[in-house]
Copies of this chain bind each other. A is one copy, B any other.
Amino acid sequence: MNFLEERIVKDGIVKEGNVLKVDSFLNHQMDIELFDQMGAEFKKRFADRPINKILTIEASGIGIACVVAQHFGVPVVFAKKTKSINIEGEMYTAEVESFTHKCKNQVIVAKKFLSEEDHVLIIDDFLANGCALQGLIQIVKSAGGTVEGIGIAIEKGFQSGGTVIRNLGYHLESLAIVDGMDASTGEITFREQ
């Protein structure tokens, strides 16, 4: 097990319905030292890529992205989620449909912060069905930029998001891939990487 998998086993809580609660260190309370380790690991995994910008999405992606960015020496842009359809023309927008929440959201980024010169690393805390991620990729493409890689903390391997993104040829690195969880025993099965 790597450092993140160990931490998930130690402090993650498995709940009914394939819910994994990691809010004590990842997405409500945040362990910044852990984020720093994640940054070092992503830097290793994307070492050969000419990354000049990190893109993430509010809210829980922002903390990880900012600490990871220190390892790359690049700025972070975060996409905003909005329900409003009245967007200025100065925004890239992607409409993403949530499988879980059964609602449509718009994801927006100001045009001035992404262009065809950008080589983007997308960072997020979770990947399940991949709706948010699909929106971020769409936005980078709208800008004419290049998705150099996608770095995820925890991927739910039993949901389709990761497979779809890898099938499309993106360089996706998830630090922990959960292939199964048992709410009665609390056991978590990670994919060998």
Contacts and interface: CB of A to CB of B under 8 A. Distances in A.
Contacts of A122: none
Contact of A30 (B25, B59, B76, B112): B76
A29 interface: yes
A24 B53 CA distance: 13
A23 interface: yes
A170 to B, nearest CB: 23
A65 B76 CA distance: 14
A113 interface: yes
A69 B31 CA distance: 9
Contacts of A30: 66, 69, 75-78
Contact of A78 (B31, B36, B63): B63
Contact of A76 (B36, B63, B73, B109): B63
Nearest to A58: B59
Interface in A22-50: 23-25, 28-33, 35-36
A90 to B, nearest CB: 11
Contacts of A73: 33
Interface in A1-41: 23-25, 28-33, 35-36
Contacts of A51: none
B28 A70 contact: no
Given A32-B66, A63-B76, 7 more contacts: A28-B77, A28-B110, A30-B66, A30-B76, A32-B75, A58-B59, A63-B78
28 contacts: A23-B110, A23-B113, A25-B75, A28-B78, A28-B113, A29-B75, A29-B76, A29-B110, A30-B75, A30-B77, A30-B78, A31-B75, A32-B66, A32-B70, A32-B75, A32-B76, A33-B73, A35-B66, A36-B70, A58-B59, A62-B66, A63-B65, A63-B66, A63-B76, A66-B66, A66-B67, A67-B67, A67-B70
